Structures are given as C-alpha cells and as structure tokens.
Chain A
Amino acid sequence: MIDHTALLALPPYGLAAEQKQAFLTSELAALCTHHAQHCAPYAAMLAATGTQPNALTAVAQVPPLPVRLFKEYALSSVPPEALHKTMTSSGTTGQQVSRIFLDVETATLQSKVLAKTMESILGGARLPMIILDTAAVIKNRSMFSARGAGILGFSMFGRDKFYAMDEAMQLDIDGLKTFLAKHEGEPIFLFGFTYMVWQHFVQALLRQGVTLSIPQGTLLHGGGWKKLAAEAVSHDVFRDTLQKVCGVPRILDYYGMVEQTGTIYVECEHGHLHTPVWADVLIRRAKDFSLAAVGETGLIEVVSVLPRSYPGHALLTEDEGRLLGEDDCPCGRKGKYFEVLGRVQRAEVRGCSDTYEQHR
C-alpha cells in the first residue's frame, strides 16, 4: 500500500482516468490482500466469489461488499487491542446499525484526506463556522453516531463554532444574528444534515418570518434526500428557499457514508458530485452487476483506498445513481462525476412468511 505522504500529496481532483485507475487498481489489490490476511470473514467472502487478490487488474474486479453486511457482522482487520474507535451509522430505534472499526492509522488517514478535500473547497484558512444542529449530539462521545461524527469531522475546518440549535432543536435566532454581526464581511462555513437544515433552520426562519444575510457563506450539507423527497422538496426548492431565507450563495450537497468516513463526494458549482482521487464510484447494473454506461441508472458502488482497519474499500450501496461523465466536467475537476437518485425501493414480497423478520 502507498505511504501516507505520497497518498496525501495527490491532487484531490488532479488525476485523469488512466492514471487514476492504475493507482486505484494497485491500491485496491493491495487492500484485498491485506484484508484477506487479517480478516478471516473477508477471506471467506473473497473465496466465495472466486477472487484472487493478486490477479486483480481493474477496480471493477474487486467484489464489492453490500453495506448491509456491516450491520450484521463485525468485520475488522485489526486485533481488538489496536482499536481506536468504533463508528456506528445512525439508525432509528430498533434498526441495526453499521459498526466500523478504526485503528489510529485509518482514523488519521480519514481526517487528513477529508481535510485535503475540504481545503480544495473552502481554501486553506479555517472559517467562522455555523453548525446547523445541536451540540447535544456530540456530547456523548462514547458512541460516535454518524451525525455526531459528521459534525465533529467537519468542525475541523471551522473556527469560533456556533451551534445554531438548542437541545430541543429550536433555532437560536438571536445567537445567530450576534454571530453574523460579529463576523460581518467574512466568509462563513455552514454545515448541517440536509433534513435538519430544512426542518430546523429553513422552516424555523420561515415560520418566524426572519431573513438572515450570509452573503459570503458556503453551506455544505449531506445525509440524503429520502425524508425531503417524501415531503416533495426538490433540490431546486431546497436551494431557492435557503437562498431566500438566508441569502447563502454557495450551497453544496455531498454524498458519503459512515462506512467510508473521510471520503466525501462534494457537489461542484455545476451541481455534479465529484470523486476525489482517493475514491471512485462505479455504477453497476442490478441485472448482472456489469458496469452501466454513462447516463444509465444503476446501483452505486463506492470505492476508497482509506479503509485499512476494516474491509470497506469496495462497497455496494443500496442507492441508485447515474454516472454523468469522467474528466470532462466544465468545472475542470478530473475524475468521475455522478448524481445520486435515492435509495432502492423494497417491493412487496409474497409468500407464507408474513413478516419480513428474517431480513437481518
């Protein structure tokens, strides 16, 4: 595997297809070998697909593990004494959550790569930061939920951090106004989860008839559109309403998941999600898992060279998406760019078993 310095020296969006694929292929082959040696369940899974790690010649040949497996099995490539922390996905009560095992090395890589990616968006300096959430979610640090971890992770790129909501998720409008007055004329970084931003920031401002002015703001938001889609809030409505209530000019969605923390796919000014050099997205046809053509809808596979303490380097998500192009986005970034269409739907299942309880 490539050493950290070389890895971090790579330009986030600077490698064109051929170079990038060569880099990813060799890294992923090395990761497959590494995890097969250190994680017996992973070795069994590779064997079940007949994959020989040393014979891999393309990223697409790495069999992706369904993300759901991390909810069912403890998949770790480090001995328990080397564990630094365990991340869990957020889930509603009763749902199983993913458990992701991190040692110091992988956790460090995640932070550093995230920093490199963010630097290309926000610039090198730390900006005054508004977190559109409550500080309560990060107070209990024994369990890193995805929400808390996301806030903590992105907090590294801000200074003078202000949590905009109280424990009851009520928007602190006076506090916000004070903060904005204090940082008038400065670029401001705002971060939040898409649904929280809509529900507890936009709606609160609308309800109270308050308009803020954040003319040099950059809002980064992620976490998915599932709930907003259910409320029929489109990307355009989200963006337009936000700009109306707070005048934030730059609104960037990102795609990422706790199973590959540190790897995020951020929207460019053309609304395309971009793959940074350390990661890739493959769109696979459900019919046979072959690669979909540009523009064709399929299942999203996410690939990242960061996971060394757990076998999460190639993951099959339950999200559908479309590849929009590679190396040719008008924004100038190299690498693939894509869009996410949402979670796949579970169809009605017929049969005697009237519960779906074995869907573990």
Chain B
Amino acid sequence: MSSIDDATARDTHTPESDTPTTQNAVAGAGTVAQPLPELAEPDTGSTSDLPLHGYCGLADPRQAAAAPALTPFHPMVTAFLTDVSAALLRDPRAKAYPDVTTFAFFCRRANLTQLASPYAQGQGRLGRGLAFHIAPSNVPMNFAYSLAAALLAGNASVVKASSHAFEQVRITCEAMRLQLAGAHKALTPYVNVITYPRERQDVTEVFSRLCDVRIIWGGDETIRRVREAPLPPRAVDMAFADRWSLLLCDAAYVAAMDAPSLATMAQGFYNDTYLFDQNACTTPRLVYWLGAGETLLAAQKRFWDAVHAYASPRYPVEPVTAVDKRVALYRAALTLPGAKLLPMPDNLAVRISLDALTLPVLDFRCAGGCFLEYAAQTLDPLTPLLTARTQTISALGVSPQAVYDLLLATGVRGVDRVTAVGHTMDFSLVWDGYDLIQTLSRRITLS
C-alpha cells in the first residue's frame, strides 16, 4: 500500500471561491509535501518509547485515555475552536492555503452554533471517551475536521495526521498549540495530533488498545491493516472507505442555462473534480444525463465547453496523467459496455460514453479529469450502481429532493449524500451516512 513515491506536489491549483465556505473541507489544495522532520525533534516532546512526532497535545498522548468525556458542543470545546479559527484567520501564512482558511471558517462561532442546533435536544449524551483517528495521507486538512467532529461530540482525540509533513498541518497545529498553551490549557489532553511512519503498526496497536472509538480514513488496504490492531471489547470502528460518486444532469435544464449560470456551474464542477485531481471519494466519475436527441447533444456541448473554458487555464495536463487517462479509456473499452471516446479539443477532460451501466462501472476510477457518460430518459438504468460503494450524487437541474425520494423508495444500499454541483466536498457533521456527533457519543438514560 505504498502511497506516492515522489513527493513533488503541484501547487498550481488556485482556490476557486472568493469567500471561503465550508466547501472543499475534505481535501486540501495547493499542497506541498515536505520531507518529514526527524522524529527525534518533536514540537511538544515525545514519549521515550514511541516513535512519534507530536504536533500538539500531551507529551505522552497515551494519557489522553484518562481525560473525562465531555457533553457534545461543550463550551470549552466551542471556545477553543472559535479561538483557533480566529488565530488561523489572522495568520498570514494560512492565506496561502485555502483549505486552512476553509477550516477556520468551519470553526467560527456562528457556524458552530448552527451546527449545534440539531442537537439542542440531545440531553444526556457524553462523548465516548478517547477517539483515535487515522487521517488520510494525501488530504492535509482532513485530520482537522475529524478532530473537530470528535471534540464537538465530547471526546479526547489522538489523531495520526498524514506522514507527509504538510505545511497546512503545521500551521493549524501551531494555532492549536498556542491556544492550548494559553487560555485553553485544560483542553490539552483532548487535542493530540501526532504522526508516525505508516509501517509502525506497533504504534497503531498502542492507541487502538486505548481508544473507545477508532476513525479510519483511507483506502481499503489501509482500513484492512489498521483493523488488524485489536480494539477493546466495547470500542467501535468507523471506517471511511474509498467511495464512488456521480453527477446527475438534466439535459433540457443545461441546454437552457444562461451563460453566467453555466460559468458558475463550471466553477462548481471544477471544485468538485479538478481542484483535488478528481481523486476524492466525492468526485463525480460518471455524468448521468437525463435526456436524449438534439437537446442532449446541445447540453453536453454546453456543459463541456464551459468546464473546458474554466479548467483550461487552471489545470495543466501532466504527461503522466495524459497517459493514465488513455490507459483508463482502454480499460473501459475492455470492461464496460460500448465504451467510446467522445470528442474534446484536448486531453484535459477525457469523456467516455457507455451503452449501459453495469457493476464494473464502479471500479472505474482515473484521477485528473476522466469521465464516463451515460444518457437515458429515466433514472431506472442507474439503479444497479446504487450499491454500498456509491457515496455522493451531485445534481444539476434535477431536484435533489426527487433523488432523495428515489433512494428512500428503492431501499438502495449506497448513496449517503445528495448535493448540488460545487458542493460535493462540503464537510458536514453527517458524513458517509454517519451522524458524527451521535456516533461519537453515547446516550445515558435515566429512569
């Protein structure tokens, strides 16, 4: 399960929203991976017997297991996150990283208050105790959302951040560390961010033995390996596995869109796909068109012209990606019904039309702008794809409510999210079908 051999990250991607929202929370932008600092030089001092690099929290993060659980949206936690948010928004270094800014906006008091409102009736809940998080190695800020969600649910956390030394992680943890050293000292046992080499299964085992809930983000292989480390009998695993997502478009709607809304759509679609190399779980890999005939052709042309115009100056086609996409085309030719390359001016977006949707479609993934396309008059042909593998349906000109109703009516195993174009990456406290606050806390009944 090697990740990336050479860490020459590209920083050519510019953030594409003027006012940061919670969008793009799940993946990082403009990331520059740097060599991992020596583990012998921890920021907070490390335990003598564990090969840890500590970003923030206790000198010995194992002691986090002793921290009392808190009630959800505890004032200590919201005050801490609010101050971290303010510190990050003041930090000039953070401005270079839209994913850091987006996280800071997520932690603003107003947003936290809004996030808390559905749980206002949730009396009698306590965090589960210690949450041990394995964050994905290529998404710098994912660790911060995972941490924030666990804190808001009332847990102490030990987070294994990416073993790539991302600047975003440093900046965010420095802000947290300063708050923990100042007004929020009492929260120190709750906020432990560490990293260690992924092959150190022994460290994974230590924290797995101590935790009450383990949160694993990553590919199937990562999840399998982490699960080899036993949990205490009462502890639970939450695994955020690799998922597959699609976009649903109404041809008549797209054919009738005016130029400004097309441009806005293209920006949103870009943020859903190219901004993170089309590699997030939420990124559409199939564009499903509702429509036929001239209207369909006109809609497809308008859609891809707009996407191409928006992405072209922002997303360079790397040689290796161009080859990858050609390999993907031929794989599709060999495994998917009627796969055909559709005309585009260049290799920026590779479009492959299909005659039918079969299960192997869910195995199709290629980073960097490679899309399957299928058209039909109804949603019926989509049903075979709505398995547990399918995560997000983004919708364009199709009522999300209609999709939602269809999902409930058909009882499908998959699809946890229905969003508008441009919002597939918005982080929410309900993720992959889990209500994070409820899943990361427990209810105490009184009778």
A143 in the interface (beta carbon within 8 A): no
| Stretch of A134-142, A176-184, A210-218, A339-347 with 4 or more beta carbons under 8 angstroms from chain B | A339-347
A248 in the interface (beta carbon within 8 A): no
CB–CB A349/B221 < 8 A: no
| Stretch of A5-13, A191-199, A269-277, A284-292 with 4 or more beta carbons under 8 angstroms from chain B | A284-292
8 Å CB contacts to A: which residues of B1-25? Answer: 1-10
Contact with A along B135-149 (1 / 0, CB 8 A): 011110010000000
- In whole angstroms, how far apart are the Cα atoms of A288 and B317 in the complex? 9
A353 in the interface (beta carbon within 8 A): yes
CB–CB B341/A73 < 8 A: no
A49 in the interface (beta carbon within 8 A): yes
Q: Interface residues of A: mostly helix, strand, loop or mixed?
A: loop
Q: Which of A45, A72, A354 is in CB contact (< 8 Å) with B333? A: A45
- Give the Cβ gap from A249 to chain B, nearest Cβ, in Å: 37
> Which residues from B are CB-within-8-Å of A289?
322, 326, 347
Q: Which of B6, B330, B346 is in CB contact (< 8 Å) with A65? A: B330
B440 in the interface (beta carbon within 8 A): no
- Give the Cβ gap from B222 to chain A, nearest Cβ, in Å: 6
8 Å CB contacts to A: which residues of B332-349? Answer: 332-334, 339-341, 345-348
**Contact A347 B10, CB 8 Å, known A49-B341, A50-B340:** yes
CB–CB B139/A347 < 8 A: no
A1 in the interface (beta carbon within 8 A): no
Q: Which of A41, A316, A346, A348 is in CB contact (< 8 Å) with B326? A: A316
> Which residues from B are CB-within-8-Å of A352?
26-27, 136, 138-139, 142, 217-218, 240, 242-243, 279-282
**Contact A47 B2, CB 8 Å, known A286-B347, A354-B137, A354-B217:** no
8 Å CB contacts to B: which residues of A287-304? Answer: 287-289, 298-299
- Give the Cβ gap from B188 to chain A, nearest Cβ, in Å: 28
B155 in the interface (beta carbon within 8 A): no
- In whole angstroms, how far apart are the Cα atoms of A168 and B9 in the complex? 39
Q: Name B26's closest neighbour in chain A (CB-CB).
A: A352
Contact with B along A326-359 (1 / 0, CB 8 A): 0000000000000000001111111111111110
> Which residues from A are CB-within-8-Å of B243?
352
A69 in the interface (beta carbon within 8 A): yes
Q: Which of B4, B322, B333, B341 is in CB contact (< 8 Å) with A287? A: B322
- In whole angstroms, how far apart are the Cα atoms of A18 and B366 in the complex? 39
B408 in the interface (beta carbon within 8 A): no
- Give the Cβ gap from A303 to chain B, nearest Cβ, in Å: 16
> Which residues from A are CB-within-8-Å of B281?
351-353
> Which residues from B are CB-within-8-Å of A316?
323, 326
A320 in the interface (beta carbon within 8 A): yes
- In whole angstroms, how far apart are the Cα atoms of A68 and B320 in the complex? 12
B416 in the interface (beta carbon within 8 A): no
A125 in the interface (beta carbon within 8 A): no
- In whole angstroms, how far apart are the Cα atoms of A298 and B277 in the complex? 22
> Which residues from A are CB-within-8-Å of B276?
350-351
> Which residues from A are CB-within-8-Å of B6?
345-346, 348
- Give the Cβ gap from B212 to chain A, nearest Cβ, in Å: 24
CB–CB A353/B332 < 8 A: no
Interface centre among B136, B277, B333, B340 (most CB of A within 10 A): B333
> Which residues from A are CB-within-8-Å of B218?
352-355
Contact with B along A218-229 (1 / 0, CB 8 A): 000000000000
Interface centre among B1, B26, B138, B319 (most CB of A within 10 A): B319
- In whole angstroms, how far apart are the Cα atoms of A345 and B87 in the complex? 37
CB–CB B320/A48 < 8 A: no
B31 in the interface (beta carbon within 8 A): yes
CB–CB B219/A355 < 8 A: yes
> Which residues from B are CB-within-8-Å of A50?
340-341
- Give the Cβ gap from A264 to chain B, nearest Cβ, in Å: 23
CB–CB B323/A344 < 8 A: yes
> Which residues from A are CB-within-8-Å of B33?
348
Q: Number of B interface residues, CB 8 Å? A: 64
Q: Name A288's closest neighbour in chain B (CB-CB).
A: B346
CB–CB B330/A286 < 8 A: no
8 Å CB contacts to B: which residues of A14-56? Answer: 41, 44-45, 47-50
Q: Which of B3, B8, B282, B340 is in CB contact (< 8 Å) with A345? A: B8
- Give the Cβ gap from B389 to chain A, nearest Cβ, in Å: 13
CB–CB A354/B346 < 8 A: no
- In whole angstroms, how far apart are the Cα atoms of A301 and B279 in the complex? 27
> Which residues from A are CB-within-8-Å of B284?
none
- In whole angstroms, how far apart are the Cα atoms of A228 and B339 in the complex? 41
CB–CB B219/A344 < 8 A: no
Q: Which of B1, B29, B320, B331 is in CB contact (< 8 Å) with A347? A: B320
CB–CB A344/B320 < 8 A: yes
CB–CB B323/A66 < 8 A: yes
- In whole angstroms, how far apart are the Cα atoms of A68 and B352 in the complex? 19
CB–CB A347/B323 < 8 A: no
- In whole angstroms, how far apart are the Cα atoms of A298 and B319 in the complex? 8
CB–CB B319/A320 < 8 A: yes
CB–CB A348/B9 < 8 A: yes
Q: Which of A48, A73, A320 is in CB contact (< 8 Å) with B332? A: A48
> Which residues from A are CB-within-8-Å of B189?
none
- In whole angstroms, how far apart are the Cα atoms of A319 and B14 in the complex? 29
B125 in the interface (beta carbon within 8 A): no
Q: Name A94's closest neighbour in chain B (CB-CB).
A: B2
> Which residues from A are CB-within-8-Å of B2?
355-356
> Which residues from B are CB-within-8-Å of A41?
333-334
CB–CB B222/A355 < 8 A: yes
**Contact A66 B347, CB 8 Å, known A49-B341, A348-B10, A353-B219:** no
**16 additional contacts (CB under 8 A) given A288-B345, A350-B29, A352-B218:** A44-B333, A65-B330, A69-B327, A288-B346, A299-B319, A344-B318, A347-B8, A347-B9, A350-B27, A350-B139, A350-B277, A351-B276, A352-B217, A354-B137, A355-B3, A357-B1
Which residues of B are interface residues toward A (Cβ below 8 A)?
1-10, 26-29, 31, 33, 136-139, 142, 162, 217-222, 240, 242-243, 276-283, 317-323, 326-327, 329-334, 339-341, 345-348, 352, 365, 367
The 3 closest A-B pairs by CB, nearest first: A351-B279, A348-B9, A48-B333
